[in-house]
Amino acid sequence: MKQLLQHETADFIIADLWRPNSPDLNPVDYRMYGVLRERVYRKSNLLKLNADELMWLLIKAWFGIQQSVADQAIDQWRVRLNACVKAKGKHFENML
């Protein structure tokens, strides 16, 4: 599979060059989680919720996120990858 991806995808990043624990490069971490957190905190006093209520609030908020939010996060991904390369794998949030 890896060989196929390297052959067919010009921008394929091999595992040795990928930062495995980088929230700055994961669309769910740098965009989706923030939107989800904002929706959950805005709608409820979390201290008054039990675990089941919190779970349903999170599920409702997750499915309420529009496709455009996900698309924006994915569009930002290539920009973030380029900034990471320019920063040689170090912190790059200030370059965005």
Minimal CA–CA distance to 67: which of 38, 40, 24, 27?
Answer: 27
Measure the CA–CA gap between 80 and 74, rounded to whole angstroms. Answer: 10
The whole-number pLDDT of residue 21 equals: 64
- Measured distance between the N- and C-terminal CA atoms of the chain, rounded to whole angstroms: 33
- Model confidence over 48-95: pLDDT tens digits? 888 998 889 889 888 888 888 888 888 888 888 888 888 887 878 777
| Integer angstrom CA distances of residue 47 from 43, 57, 62 | 12, 13, 20
DSSP 90: S
DSSP 6: H
The whole-number pLDDT of residue 40 equals: 84
Q: Where are the domains of the chain?
A: 23-95
The whole-number pLDDT of residue 52 equals: 92
- Model confidence over 1-33: pLDDT tens digits? 777 777 777 777 676 666 666 667 777 777 888
